Every structure is written in structure tokens, then in C-alpha cells.
């Protein structure tokens, strides 16, 4: 069993509720439908020359559905829809590239999904060629791909290396047979081991492993063993995500029997278990779910106070804008967010017949949004933030801040957070799992508890 402070554990569990994961503020359910594409094109046009850009491209296809999956994806055994999609995304990239006139510098490109590894090598090269034709990449640009280890081959790894991919995130989830069978994802250690070897042999050495705690039939013992296996692969980073169970939104999650899911006390123990194994092996915790080696860029970003959070989770790269391509992709500009349509037909129509981005939803920052965003991001990244200095920086009404901090009183009384005279809010390391709940005290748009079925539980 992990070493757990039972008092803190019980207090945290008692506060568990459904809150956002705060990969954005406001959270995506607050974005407005029918947001005008012209507003977004205007945001693009006023981005200053030489701004740093992060690019994201969403590949919404997988050959087989994992029952826990919360990502936006379609299951297909045929390649034709993937090929058609690549054609559309290349048009979208070209259209945005023409609008941006090569005035900016790309410091980060991320292929996410779904499964980008569904793309045949020729299509992956075509996408990379299109990005390079329309955008200028910095020499040190990070080019990252989310990899399903079951798809990795020696040849695919070579292709990735040849086109400049230098970071990989491998979806592992767990190594336990019973757990993986229950979620429809049978994937032996050997499969992951050989994927890592192919990538390392091709010269791609920076890699992250994704794990999930809270999956059906997971136990402290099984997760400890899985973490031990993970350590054999010597990843630079490891993510240990809390399983976000939202069966009212994602039908595939209904295939997981409720009685097989760990309750919130067991989830707490599972996270503590993973955390302890990793920390004892020299990994440093970052935010709510990442663990990295000391030499890693993310550890250095944490030390220098530049760690950020975006739709892909934590990032050591702080771009001026994030531009998303493909269905459901979200972009972030200094003025707000824009989300592409999730409807394939609408996406196709917009990309083939218009020159505005295929937007379905968006959000323009207003009022106290930017200050609240800075507070929430500070908490999610560093577990501490000076709320008063951020509020003063934006010359906002102190009474409005008082309304938020008054929500903290029970957490302060229980020792789960402290707030000093100068406005420094600190969550002790032992209470790390309360972070999303403390952050939600600064969320102006949080729905009341009884209508909170938008989000997963916090613990
Ligand atoms: C797009 S997938 C990764 C690439 C590839 N599709 C794969 O699964 O190997 C991104 C990651 O999201 C995480 N994930 C997916 N559904 C989740 C859920 N419901 N709760 C928490 N994490 C989840 C998994 O760890 C997964 O590796
Ligand atoms: S977890 Fe990855 S492979 Fe599984 S269905 Fe989701 S996106 Fe596809």
C-alpha cells in the first residue's frame, strides 16, 4: 500500500465533485455555438509578425475502440476515409498558411487524435510537406506525435525521424492483462518495448508514456507492477491521467461495468501508488498528472516559472497562439478560443467551399477571464499562485476576488490550502489531488453541483 495520510485523504475525498480538467479557461463547454469565423480571421490577421506558433492537427480515426476512450475519434477498418480526410486537412493548412503569409515562427507541431499512427507513411509525409510549405519552422521546433504502440513499425519510425519528428507520446494505459482486456485494448509489454526500440533506433529518443489510473480492476498491486514495467523503458516523461468516466457523454464507457471501477478512495490510493513509485525512481511530479526526469525541459520550465497548460496538457512551450487543424481541433489566440466543427460533413463543406476557418464554436475573453485564467493555470501548473498580485495587475474589483477566496474557507480550515496576507495561495504537496477543486473556486462559469454532469469527477 502507498504511504497515505488518511486524514488528508478522507478530507479530499469528501470534497470530490465534477469539475473541469482546466486545459483551458473557460472550459470548452462554455464556448459559444455559432461563433463568427470573421472574428477568428481577424484574430489571425492581427497576430504580430514573428509571433511563436504552436500547431496542432487532429487525426480522428482508430481501427478499434478502447472502452475508456474520451477522445474525439471514429472507428474504421477502411483507409479511404482517412485518405479523404488528409486531403481536406491539407487544404485547411494551406488556406490558413496563405492567410498567415509565413510571418510567424512555428516552435511546436503536435499530431494528436484518435490515432495519428493510422496515417500511412506517404500521407504523413504529405502532411509534413504541407506544413513546411506554408509555415516557417524554428530549427529547434518540437515535432511530436501521439503513437499507438500497436501500430509502430521499423519503417514508420524511420519515416518519422526523416521528416523531423523528435518527440513521441506512447499510449500505454496499463500493462495488466485483466485491466486491458476489460477496456478492449490488449497490448503486451513486448508490443510497447518493440515500439520504443524502433523509435530509439531511428534516433527519436524523447518520449513520454501515457498511463491511466482508475481503470476497471486496477489495484494498488497491479499498478505498482505496471509502473515497474514502465520504468524498464526509461521514459523521460510519464503521464498518469485520472480516468475521466463520463458515460452520459461517451457511449463506449457504458461497456465498462460500474462494479469493476475503483471508487474515489481507491482512485486516491492508485494515484499515490504511481506517484510514490515514480518519485522514488527519480521522477519529479509536475502539476496534477505528469512525472519527468530532472533534465527534462518540462522540469526546467517548472523551475523558471514558465510551465503552461493547454489542450494537450502541460507544456514547456509558451506560444503566442495555438492553431488547431482538423475536426474538433481547438485554437487559442490572445483574444480567445475557436473550435473547429466536429461534424465531418460541415468540415468538408467549409474546407472545400470557403476560405474562413471551419469554426463551430468559440469564445472571446471578457471581464475577469484573463486574470482568472492566470490564477487557474498557476494552480494547475505550480500548486501555488499569488491571487492578489494577478488581480491587481488587471486592476479588478477586490470584492470580486474576495467572493472567490471566501469559497476557500473550509479548505483552509482543513489544511488543504493556505492563503497568506499577501495573497499567496499554496496547496501542500500532500493535498495535490484537490487542485482542480481549488481551481474551480476561481471559475466564474462553473455550473452548480446538481447540473455538473459536464465534467468528470476531480479525484
Ligand atoms: C489520443 S490518445 C493517444 C494515442 C493513441 N490513440 C493511443 O491510444 O495510443 C491520448 C491519451 O488520452 C488518454 N485518455 C483517453 N481517454 C481517456 C479518459 N477517458 N480518461 C483519461 N485519459 C484518457 C490516454 O492515456 C491516451 O493515451
Ligand atoms: S485511446 Fe487511443 S486508440 Fe483507443 S480509441 Fe481512444 S484514441 Fe483510439
**What per-residue confidence (pLDDT) applies to 458?**
72
β-partners of residue 291 are 238, 285
pLDDT band at residue 432 under the 50/70/90 scheme? very high
Name which residue sits closest to atom 7 of ligand 2, judged by CA. 114
**What per-residue confidence (pLDDT) applies to 356?**
86
Name which residue sits closest to atom 6 of ligand 2, judged by CA. 69
CATH 3.80.30.20 residue ranges of the chain are 28-322
Long-range contacts of 6-9 (CB under 8 A, 24+ apart): 8/415, 8/416, 8/430, 8/431, 9/265, 9/268, 9/269
CATH 1.10.10.920 residue ranges of the chain are 369-451
CATH 3.30.420.10 fits 28-322, yes or no: no
pLDDT at position 220 over 60: yes
pLDDT at position 451 over 60: no
Instruction: Give the C-alpha separation, 41 to 333, whole Å.
Output: 11
Ligand 1 pocket at CB < 6 A: 62, 68-71, 112-115, 146, 148, 171, 173, 210, 212, 241, 243-244
β-partners of residue 385 are 425
pLDDT band at residue 177 under the 50/70/90 scheme? very high
**What per-residue confidence (pLDDT) applies to 452?**
53
Check if the beta carbon of residue 355 is closer than 8 Å to that of residue 95: yes
- Looking at all shown ligands, the one closest to residue 148's CA atom is 1
pLDDT at position 358 over 90: yes
pLDDT at position 142 over 90: yes
Q: Are strands 136-147 and 206-213 parallel, antiparallel or unpaired?
A: unpaired
Closest ligand 2 atom, CA of 146?
A: 2
Determine the longest span between alpha carbons in the chain, in angstroms: 62
Mean pLDDT of 423-449: 92
Closest ligand 2 atom, CA of 69?
A: 6
pLDDT band at residue 1 under the 50/70/90 scheme? confident
Q: Please calculate the CA angle 394-396-316 and round it to the nearest 5 degrees.
A: 40
Q: Which residues contact 7 (CB under 8 A, 6 or more apart)?
A: none
Q: Which of 277, 276, 239 has its CA nearest to residue 4? A: 276
Name the more confident of 234 and 453: 234
For 104, 375, 391, 416, 428, the CA distances from 424, given in Å and listed in that order, are 36, 11, 12, 14, 12
pTM: 0.96
- Looking at all shown ligands, the one closest to residue 192's CA atom is 1
Instruction: Give the C-alpha separation, 302 to 304, whole Å.
Output: 6
pLDDT band at residue 449 under the 50/70/90 scheme? low
Mean pLDDT of 377-405: 96
**Is residue 105 within a helix (H) or strand (E), and if so which, with residue range?**
strand 105-113
Closest ligand 1 atom, CA of 173?
A: 25
Ligand 2 pocket test, pick from 77, 82, 114, 152 with the greatest ligand atom count within 8 Å of Cβ, gives 114
How remote is the CA of residue 179 from the centroid of ligand 2, in Å? 15
**What per-residue confidence (pLDDT) applies to 354?**
79
For residue 257 the three cell numbers come to 461495468
Mean pLDDT of 379-396: 96
**What per-residue confidence (pLDDT) applies to 190?**
97
**What per-residue confidence (pLDDT) applies to 448?**
67
**What per-residue confidence (pLDDT) applies to 291?**
97
Q: Quick one: fold of 369-451?
A: Arc Repressor Mutant, subunit A (1.10.10)
pLDDT digits over 255-272, tens only?
Answer: 999 999 999 999 999 999
Amino acid at each position: 500500500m502507498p504511504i497515505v495520510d488518511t486524514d488528508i485523504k478522507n478530507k479530499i475525498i469528501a470534497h470530490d465533485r465534477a469539475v473541469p480538467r482546466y486545459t483551458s479557461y473557460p472550459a470548452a463547454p462554455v464556448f459559444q455555438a455559432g461563433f463568427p469565423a470573421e472574428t477568428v480571421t481577424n484574430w489571425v490577421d492581427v497576430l504580430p509578425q514573428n509571433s511563436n506558433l504552436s500547431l496542432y492537427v487532429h487525426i480522428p480515426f482508430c481501427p478499434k475502440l478502447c472502452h475508456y476512450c474520451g477522445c474525439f475519434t471514429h472507428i474504421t477498418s477502411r483507409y479511404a476515409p482517412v485518405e479523404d480526410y488528409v486531403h481536406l486537412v491539407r487544404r485547411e493548412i494551406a488556406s490558413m498558411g496563405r492567410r498567415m503569409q509565413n510571418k510567424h515562427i512555428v516552435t511546436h507541431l503536435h499530431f494528436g487524435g484518435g490515432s495519428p499512427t493510422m496515417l500511412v507513411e506517404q500521407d504523413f509525409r504529405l502532411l509534413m510537406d504541407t506544413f513546411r510549405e506554408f509555415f516557417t519552422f524554428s530549427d529547434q521546433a518540437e515535432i511530436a506525435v501521439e503513437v499507438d504502440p500497436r501500430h509502430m513499425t521499423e519503417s514508420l519510425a524511420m519515416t518519422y525521424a526523416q521528416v523531423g519528428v523528435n518527440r513521441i507520446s506512447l499510449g500505454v494505459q496499463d500493462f495488466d492483462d485483466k485491466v486491458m482486456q476489460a477496456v478492449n485494448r490488449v497490448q503486451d509489454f513486448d508490443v510497447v518495448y518493440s515500439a520504443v526500440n524502433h523509435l530509439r533506433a531511428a534516433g527519436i529518443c524523447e518520449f513520454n508514456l501515457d498511463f491511466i489510473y482508475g481503470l476497471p480492476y486496477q489495484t494498488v498491486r497491479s499498478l505498482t507492477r505496471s509502473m515497474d514495467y514502465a520504468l524498464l523503458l526509461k521514459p523521460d516523461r510519464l503521464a498518469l491521467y485520472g480516468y475521466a468516466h463520463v458515460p452520459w457523454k461517451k457511449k463506449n464507457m457504458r461497456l465498462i461495468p460500474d462494479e469493476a471501477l475503483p471508487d474515489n478512495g481507491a482512485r486516491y490510493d492508485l494515484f499515490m501508488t504511481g506517484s510514490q513509485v515514480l518519485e522514488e525512481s527519480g521522477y519529479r511530479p509536475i502539476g496534477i498528472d505528469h512525472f519527468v526526469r530532472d533534465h527534462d525541459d518540462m522540469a526546467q520550465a517548472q523551475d523558471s516559472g514558465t510551465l503552461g497548460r493547454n489542450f494537450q496538457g502541460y507544456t514547456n512551450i509558451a506560444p503566442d497562439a495555438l492553431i488547431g487543424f482538423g475536426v474538433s481541433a481547438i485554437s487559442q489566440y490572445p483574444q480567445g478560443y475557436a473550435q473547429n466543427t466536429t461534424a465531418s460533413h460541415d468540415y468538408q463543406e467549409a474546407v472545400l467551399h470557403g476560405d474562413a476557418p471551419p469554426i463551430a464554436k468559440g469564445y472571446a475573453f471578457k471581464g475577469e477571464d484573463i486574470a482568472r485564467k492566470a490564477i487557474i493555470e498557476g494552480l494547475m501548473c505550480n500548486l501555488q499562485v499569488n491571487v492578489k498580485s494577478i488581480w491587481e495587475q488587471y486592476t479588478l474589483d477586490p470584492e470580486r476576488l474576495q467572493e472567490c477566496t471566501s469559497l476557500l474557507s473550509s479548505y483552509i480550515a482543513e489544511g488543504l490550502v493556505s492563503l497568506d496576507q499577501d495573497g499567496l495561495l499554496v496547496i501542500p504537496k500532500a493535498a495535490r489531488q484537490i487542485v482542480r477543486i481549488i481551481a474551480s473556486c476561481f471559475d466564474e462559469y462553473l455550473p452548480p453541483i446538481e447540473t455538473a454532469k459536464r465534467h468528470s469527477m476531480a479525484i
